[in-house]
Amino acid sequence: MSRCCVKTGVVGWGAYIPLYRLRSKEIASLWGFDPNVADSIWIEEKSVASVDEDAITMGWYAAKYALVRGGVNPEDVGAVFVGTESKPYAVKPSSTVIADALGISRKKLATDLEFACRAAAEGIRLAVALVSSGSIKYGLSIGSDTAQASPGDVLELTASSGAVAFLIGPAEESVAVFEGLTTYVTDTPDFWRREGSKYPSHGEGFTGEPAYFHHIISSVTMLLEELGLKPSDFDYAIFHQPNGKFPLQVGRALGFPKEKITPGLVTPWIGNTYNASALLGLAKVLEIAKPGQRILVAPFGSGAGSDAMSLVVTDKVLDRVHKAPTVEELINRKKYVSYAEYAKSRNLILRNVG
């Protein structure tokens, strides 16, 4: 075990996917995209947050059920981190609203983190460090996004809404124990959103190889070297999922077969939930994993960086799965909406009557 994460693990997890779905073929046909574009990146439909939902409300739901699964009193939580790139307020923390609404102790650390899609993964690393140093007993990291995309941008096929929360605490109470954590970050111009811009921009040539692939391959290779493990030592591998194809491709490059990656895939059916993307995959895998199995999870955030984490599942996982809605149940709960309804609920069109 590496020194980064002594005797810490995941005590509880919670997920949230909004009810509504928009079919990617409808977006493609509206904007006149090549009809094969959705299949070529493997995206069938995406989740759409309702008009009264945002990163705070979705994060609240996921965090509530992380506490329920962990059986932890909110008063005992010493840190709340919210990783998001769609904060409802540019200035005014989301973490304090969620914490107060859940009855989490006022004596705590609370902050919103931004690093594109990997801020919540960094929140997990911070919570692990605080728990393993004895500074706090439990820490919550929440990833929640209502991802924005310019109408007509190819990004609109995938940018979706969802949340996930991980309650980090002592190994002896955990459903999965951390073995190692590595992070690899560089300055890369693959994707950004300027202050005051409603929609993000992307640096076309940078999104694939120099950003997603280089950073995930680097963080995972560092982790494998540090722990002396190889891909065959893992039962599941979960990578950030900007679409359905990239995680399979990066897995192939690293030597992980498709069968170890597909159990943690969520994006083909709900889209890219940004900070919740890979971590919803981890939640989905925890809901089927058996004690003793080893999981690799590697989120990625533009800008750019990737975290690689190795976890070993304990026997405590089994009776916690059905204490809260599972990712599978949330994926299957759905109602289709039209592009017009999506445009209204995601503020692409605004009511303009006095």
Partner 1 sequence: MKHSISIFWRDRENHYKLLITKCRNCGKSSYPKLKRCPYCGSTNVEVVESKGRGTLVNYTITYFRVDGSEAMLPKVIGLVKLDEGVKVPAEIVDVPDLSSLKPGLEVEAVLRKYSSDDPHGLIYYGLKFIPSIIKKQ
Closest CA to 254 of 271, 273, 234: 234
- Which residues sit opposite 139 in a β-bridge? 79, 168
- The DSSP annotation for 89-107 comes to -SSS-HHHHHHHHHT--SS
Give the residue with the Cβ less far from partner 1, 53 or 156. Answer: 53
Which position among 101, 154, 227, 229 is part of the footprint of partner 1 (CB under 8 A)?
Answer: 101
- Is 329 an interacting residue with respect to partner 1 (CB under 8 A)? yes
Known active-site residue 225 = no
- Is 97 an interacting residue with respect to partner 1 (CB under 8 A)? yes
- Is 258 an interacting residue with respect to partner 1 (CB under 8 A)? no
Interacting span for partner 1 (CB under 8 A) from 21-29, 122-130, 221-229, 343-351: 343-351
Question: Residues 287, 300: contact at Cβ < 8 Å?
Answer: no
Measured CA to CA in angstroms, residue 329 lies from 16, 17, 30, 325 at distances of 10, 10, 30, 6
Site for partner 1 in 77-96 (CB under 8 A): 88-89
Distance separating alpha carbons of residues 172 and 296, to the nearest angstrom: 20
- What b/e sequence results for 65-88 when a residue is b if at least 16 CB atoms lie within 10 Å of its CB, and e otherwise? bbbebbebebeebbbbbbbbbbbe
- Is 255 an interacting residue with respect to partner 1 (CB under 8 A)? no
Known active-site residue 215 = no
Nearest approach, Cβ of 322 to partner 1 (angstroms)? 8
Alpha helices in 163-233 (DSSP H): 214-227
- Is 174 an interacting residue with respect to partner 1 (CB under 8 A)? no
Give the residue with the Cβ less far from partner 1, 56 or 167. Answer: 56
- Is 61 an interacting residue with respect to partner 1 (CB under 8 A)? yes
Give the residue with the Cβ less far from partner 1, 137 or 344. Answer: 344
- Is 173 an interacting residue with respect to partner 1 (CB under 8 A)? no
Known active-site residue 240 = yes
- Is 60 an interacting residue with respect to partner 1 (CB under 8 A)? yes
Nearest approach, Cβ of 205 to partner 1 (angstroms)? 35
Task: Tell me the CA end-to-end span of the chain in Å, nearest whole number.
Answer: 62
Binding-site positions for CoA: 245
